[in-house]
Structure 1
Amino acid sequence: MDLSACTGCSACVVSCQAENNIPSVGRDEVLRRRDMHWMRIDRYYQGDEANPQVVHQPMMCQHCENAPCETVCPVLATVHSSEGLNQQVYNRCVGTRYCANNCPTKVRRFNWFDYEHAEPLERMVLNPDVVVRSRGVMEKCSMCVQRIQESKAAANREGRPLRDGDIQTACQQSCPAKAIHFGDVNDPDSQVARLAKDGRAFRLLEELNIGSSITYLTKIRNTGSGSGT
């Protein structure tokens, strides 16, 4: 996530909602803090109140290596995959919400109601590659795992390994500023591996030792003197 490139336009949030069949819950539920978006745009302000400087920070599941949500789930509904993804197994989840309470970045969502698309025309808006979740389960960013599997299957059919750039998440694909990058951090030649070694790179809440898999590049501003801050 390049914070210097991000403009806070929320195109990533909208594309994530469309790609992953995330329901629109309505104004009243949002006021109760029951929104379902898997991504949000955090905004930080500094400077003069009349003319503050703003930093936009896209926030989704950090897919922590030492995920606090995994240790508290009584039914192992949230587990870590061999590829570094923090996975949510919907048919195991019983809705205790322990994981949401233990998540330091507060990016997990509880589905309070059934948002069914009963009419055939309504169901046409759904992505057939993503399951429609039922009431009472936790949801969160999956790093568009359906796209990961699709790209892996395509590479397997062609008899070749995955190439850097084969997989694009929905948020990455829709970002007009190209602020989002996705790839294999274990591949030293991949773009994300090079960016993770950038001098601007940082990860969230490192003091908690959660081992976030998401790397942010801090925002650089050009001042009037020509120097960056």
Structure 2
Amino acid sequence: MQVSKRQFLKGVGALLAGVSVYGATRTPQANSLLQPEKESELKYAMVHDENACIGCNACVQACREVNHIPEDVTRVKIERKGPFGEYPDQSYRFSRVSCQHCEAAPCVRVCPTGAAYIDKETGIVAVNSDRCVGCQYCIAACPYQVRYIHPETRTADKCDFCQQSRLAQGLQPACVEACPTKALTFGNLKDPESDLVKLLKTRPSYRAKVDLGTRPKLFHIQTIDGEIML
């Protein structure tokens, strides 16, 4: 069936009119999508002073009790290395191993359900257990090997800076409060007046595996002479 030029132009006009109306009704939403989200004023991080740490594991136990972590898994552990030197001038070195709360978290990128995510308000790398299917992709992707499958919930778990248990109440993470030597400092990287930022400005620090581009937010003040002399 042939269409006359007049009919064709009439049809195109109606189509363009419809597009214009649609565009007009969609403009406010489209503009809102183009507007950048307000950036949060929080970016939580932690510093572990290896010179102050004595390897007592008070932080490990406090985390276990507050967050109800079963005995055969852990959100945080303190690795002991040594002894260094010769008796009687020997020392040990202690390092914290836990979630780094990476700004470019590999675990988040590989999660197929969105269970692993970065909280926009705090920068904390968190886990939505309701969405976790226990596929263990995040465990395989984490270069720090700090995730595990919770033996009771069968979902991925790790340190979340006590986001659900203590931060929600305006309290410091359990490990920070429990440390007898104040080896842990927790705070907001975006607050220049926070104890954490002041500490990072005055003491040399390092972060693990920064060459991977993960941008971790767990800082370490490196051991100088060791903590325990035998």
Q: Which amino acid aligns with 1:75?
A: T
2:114 to 76, 81, 84: 76
1:18 counterpart = 2:65: yes
1:215 is paired with a residue whose SS is strand
Q: How many pairs were matched up?
A: 176
What is the CA–CA distance in structure 2 between the aligned matches of 1:199 and 1:14, rounded to whole Å?
Answer: 28
Match of 1:54 in 2: 92
2:141 to 102, 107, 111: 102
> RCO greater where, 1 or 2, for CA within 8 Å and sep 6 or more?
2
Match of 2:207 in 1: 203
Answer with 1 or 2: which has the greater Rg: 2
Unmatched 5+ stretches in structure 1:
25-34, 115-133, 152-166, 223-229
1:150 to 154, 165, 169: 169
Shift of 1:76: 0.8
Shift of 1:174: 0.5
Residues 27-81 of structure 1 deviation map (CA, whole Å, 9 limit, x = unaligned): xxxxxxxx31101111223645877542101211110001111111110110001
1:140 counterpart = 2:158: yes
What is the CA–CA distance in structure 1 between the aligned matches of 2:75 and 2:87, rounded to whole Å?
Answer: 32
Shift of 1:103: 0.8
TM normalised by structure 2 equals 0.72
TM normalised by structure 1 equals 0.72
Q: Which amino acid aligns with 2:106?
A: P
What is the CA–CA distance in structure 2 between the aligned matches of 1:177 and 1:9, rounded to whole Å?
Answer: 10
Match of 2:7 in 1: none
Percent of paired sites with the same residue? 35
1:43 counterpart = 2:80: yes
1:4 to 42, 51, 62: 51
Unmatched 5+ stretches in structure 2:
1-47
Q: Is the 2:148–2:156 contact (alpha carbons within 8 Å) kept by the matching residues of 1? A: yes
Q: Structure 1 190/50 Cα, relative in aligned 2: closer, same or farther at 3 Å?
A: same
What is the CA–CA distance in structure 1 between the aligned matches of 2:84 and 2:219, rounded to whole Å?
Answer: 26
Higher strand fraction: Structure 1 or Structure 2?
Answer: 2
What is the CA–CA distance in structure 1 between the aligned matches of 2:126 and 2:116, rounded to whole Å?
Answer: 6
1:66 to 95, 104, 117: 104
Shift of 1:143: 0.3
1:43 is paired with a residue whose SS is strand
Root mean square deviation of aligned Cα? 1.8
1:185-196 equivalences under 5 Å are 185-196=189-200
What is the CA–CA distance in structure 2 between the aligned matches of 1:54 and 1:98, rounded to whole Å?
Answer: 35
What is the CA–CA distance in structure 2 between the aligned matches of 1:211 and 1:59, rounded to whole Å?
Answer: 16
Residues 56-110 of structure 1 deviation map (CA, whole Å, 9 limit, x = unaligned): 0121111000111111111011000121100100000000111111111111111
